[in-house]
Structure 1
């Protein structure tokens, strides 16, 4: 039994108990058929009795066989329905949890883990509900039912078979310890191989260009070998468990055979009774054998549940407290006050950071890669919360507002704008589901896509392709700007919004940003120093701290890191 899997059975117990009930009816039919056949075979030594009972025995056997067949068909249908319902329920639960995660939570669990949990893990766990749990229930009920059928014929045999059948499961569970040891390694190797495979597919063109595809193929083979080794570990444990329990079953059946033969010899048991004992002895363990056949799936499901549990137990709550103190300075804009932040397992990304973004102004963040620019943007969007210090927006503490309420005031255009398959209209209405065509066209015009949208025969209903593949890089970024505009946020963050577009598109986007600076408060993160020279204030970050701040002219006169970055970029542009 596994607490995570039991937690996921919500809404499935009716189906699980239905499968167990139909399986029990199948056992009842099988038992009745065995008694009919045993009685008929035992009467073969009395020809007169055979002639009188043959017809009724055949009719009874056919009816019982038909009943058992129908029960098996219903059981198969219930198992299919249960598996389908389990897959749907679990994927909905995992997907809902992933959607509840903010950007920081997604980074923590990793997109590959989310994929393997919702695809591979669910496929492996659904057998636990459709097969293992019903078999577990039957493996307890069946021996008790059969005990009462055999105890009046042979109490020693009935008692021994009952004891053996009930201890099979505890014996099987002894092998669980080994499974617990290897499950983490199994899922780690699966994540590792899946992630490497996905990276190889995404970068296949690059690998071909540099003739590194064979090397990646070799590494992928090694990772597959590690995964194969871990799978074989599961198989070995399952085989050993199967070997031990099968030995116990056949030893018990052998005892029943020897005991029945001895009692027939001394005349204390009829042949018909002996046949019933032998036929039902193996039936004692039919549910247990079915359980053992499902045990590998159960062990794999338990291993898979560990990965799902990691996702489901991720804290998605974003606490807020409206009673938190106001900004003592009552600053009209955004203020970061001695903020520090660090990612798990890494050094501090920000250390005692303080900066201000006056309302109606343009503020730029620059610095070398890894200096904390994007982390600052994540904190400002409240994708994560500071470890220490405070962030205020127009006098209110960030943590006094719900994230969704805060994001009505501040929007971000990231380095890579994500578009979804569908139309331009559908992608824009993510920001405002109630926006009419006039608002959508106005946002596109303001984002610099006015001429583009008017050139499309279907206008707003033009398809953007798979993840925006029918648009250029610059058009995708402008779509991100238009979507941010539709949110009507007073503050907008541009996080390297032009780093992946061509020079012409970059020029157009900066022109658009320049126009937006007239009506909105902008926070610009850029590696191109020439694009931030007109900012009202430039913050130069170094090692997670503010190294310099001021206007372009002030910082150039001051020298230091800012001037060094500007001179270095000018030299690169001349060289180009």
Structure 2
């Protein structure tokens, strides 16, 4: 069972496989010599022990020990090389897929493939493949040696050897199907576990944790059942291989003893055959024990190749024009997009974000505003129409250049466990402490951070020791340090307190004086100062203009703005 595609992918590991086979073969030769010396010593009894026989025996034992160690080392090096190369391949593939990779594969599945999946293939390359070739070499070597002692006994042993691979082939088809099912259920269980863990707070709030726990129990039971089937299959096939291995060895021994009693071979030859009979079968028996792990690795490799073979956009990846030259302008024309191929999320969207302009996209939830942000950041693919950055098709621009020149700040910008400094330096790795403090001061967070230990203030996972407003202001400070040409704020002020919202909007309005800003907001009071406002409804731009122009039109924008103002006024009166 050799997967040529996998062997080609991991060509560098071939040399370690070859080393492993050679040193196992060297260990076998030394084992034959050891048995030959011992057989002759036994045959000469009760004659005195020869000093040179002892020296030769110790020398052969030393060679056997060194060969075993070197074979183990080659196996280890192959395993390490496989894990390194495969994880690099997976990581490089994700980089090429870009930020839209999760449209094709779940993040939890990527994690499973890069960890458990790769670990399974470690055994395939480090143990199974070398053992497969050695299992073919060992019986032939033993037959060539023992044929000089007894052709009949050696032939019987050699003929019995194929019984083990026959049993392996017999279970291969069933095992492959079962292990594919095992991996499918395993990845589904991982997906559910990660999703439920991330949404645990929500489940608690809605008292849905017990229901989800029940579903997880059912999925775990399915996984437990398929695992027991795998273990049962492995145990049964192992038992069959044991019977064939030891039965074959016993048959060869019986023939050797029979040959001895008929006078065809001497005592030393008989002892040699008896001692070496098992060596015909042990390599294949060991191969059988590796076989099931290798089959699991094969199932994992199928999933890994599905990832590595995923479609990548074929583009020339030309860089956008440097911000320092003439700034950045984005032009969107006749943009349409559909998630399911039937219902359009966006339809014939056209607008410009000129250098140094402040443009806002507004509309009710689900109208397609955030999808536009995803397209501009290349997180969403499969759209139709034209999107250009400084005249270049965004499809032909590398993710690196997009990330370099366009910064997205969303309502759930991720903050990492570590220090405030660690998180801020992601925006600008070369930023000094003074620059980071200045950025914190711009978002009115400097005093708080200073009171908690300064830039070395420790943040918990997802910055859970900060309030929602503080998290968003810290994310804003990080974005300011990046100093890119275009900023996209996607509901950056949602789900935070009024005070923090005003602080953030103040920073955005100030930023819009020197940078190109695209603001996506459901709250129209935040977009009043925009140069251009585009009102979306059901994926279509129904109105555009300045705030004054749109309110004067007395249409959808004006109605939405008036209703929001009434609601906010009602809230203020209710508080009073």
Q: SS in structure 2 opposite 1:13?
A: helix
User: Per-residue deviation at 1:411?
Assistant: 1.7
Matching of residue 121 in structure 1 with residue 122 in structure 2: no
Compared CA separation, residues 41 and 433, structure 1 to 2 (3 A): same
Give the alignment partner of residue 141 of structure 1, picking from 137, 141, 146.
Answer: 137
1:26 corresponds in structure 2 to 27
1:430 corresponds in structure 2 to 426
Alignment of 1:350-369 (within 5 A): 350-369=346-365
Q: SS in structure 2 opposite 1:259?
A: helix
Alpha-carbon distance in 2 for matches of 1:530, 1:212: 36
Matching of residue 130 in structure 1 with residue 126 in structure 2: yes
Matching of residue 397 in structure 1 with residue 393 in structure 2: yes
Alignment of 1:530-549 (within 5 A): 530-549=525-544
Alignment of 1:516-555 (within 5 A): 516-555=511-550
8 Å Cα contact 2:413/2:472 also seen in 1: yes
8 Å Cα contact 1:105/1:316 also seen in 2: no
Matching of residue 307 in structure 1 with residue 303 in structure 2: yes
User: Per-residue deviation at 1:319?
Assistant: 1.4
Compared CA separation, residues 438 and 332, structure 1 to 2 (3 A): closer
1:514 corresponds in structure 2 to 509
After the TM superposition, which of the residue ranges 517-526 and 268-277 deviates more from structure 2? Answer: 268-277
Compared CA separation, residues 185 and 414, structure 1 to 2 (3 A): farther
Residues paired across the two proteins, number: 565
User: Per-residue deviation at 1:323?
Assistant: 12
Q: Which runs of 5+ in 2 are unaligned?
A: 321-326
Alignment of 1:19-418 (within 5 A): 19-44=20-45, 50-53=46-49, 57=53, 60-165=56-161, 168-169=164-165, 171-315=167-311, 319-320=315-316, 333-343=329-339, 347-385=343-381, 387-418=383-414
Q: TM-score, normalised by structure 1?
A: 0.86
After the TM superposition, which of the residue ranges 116-125 and 73-82 deviates more from structure 2? Answer: 73-82
User: Per-residue deviation at 1:413?
Assistant: 0.8
After the TM superposition, which of the residue ranges 58-67 and 302-311 deviates more from structure 2? Answer: 58-67
Q: Which runs of 5+ in 1 are unaligned?
A: 45-49, 325-330
User: Per-residue deviation at 1:116?
Assistant: 0.9
8 Å Cα contact 2:176/2:295 also seen in 1: no
Alpha-carbon distance in 2 for matches of 1:377, 1:268: 87
Compared CA separation, residues 353 and 220, structure 1 to 2 (3 A): same
Compared CA separation, residues 297 and 38, structure 1 to 2 (3 A): same
8 Å Cα contact 1:320/1:400 also seen in 2: yes
Give the alignment partner of residue 474 of structure 1, picking from 469, 476, 480.
Answer: 469
User: Per-residue deviation at 1:84?
Assistant: 4.2
Q: TM-score, normalised by structure 2?
A: 0.86
8 Å Cα contact 1:235/1:296 also seen in 2: no
User: Per-residue deviation at 1:346?
Assistant: 7.8
Q: SS in structure 1 opposite 2:47?
A: helix
Alpha-carbon distance in 2 for matches of 1:87, 1:163: 38
User: Per-residue deviation at 1:505?
Assistant: 1.4
User: Per-residue deviation at 1:284?
Assistant: 0.8
User: Per-residue deviation at 1:127?
Assistant: 1.5
Alpha-carbon distance in 1 for matches of 2:556, 2:315: 38
Superposition CA RMSD, Å = 3.4
8 Å Cα contact 1:339/1:353 also seen in 2: yes
Q: SS in structure 2 opposite 1:137?
A: helix
8 Å Cα contact 2:424/2:477 also seen in 1: yes
Alpha-carbon distance in 2 for matches of 1:230, 1:492: 50
1:13 corresponds in structure 2 to 14
Give per-residue Cα distances to partners, 1:177-196, cap 9 Å, x unaligned. Answer: 33443444323322222232
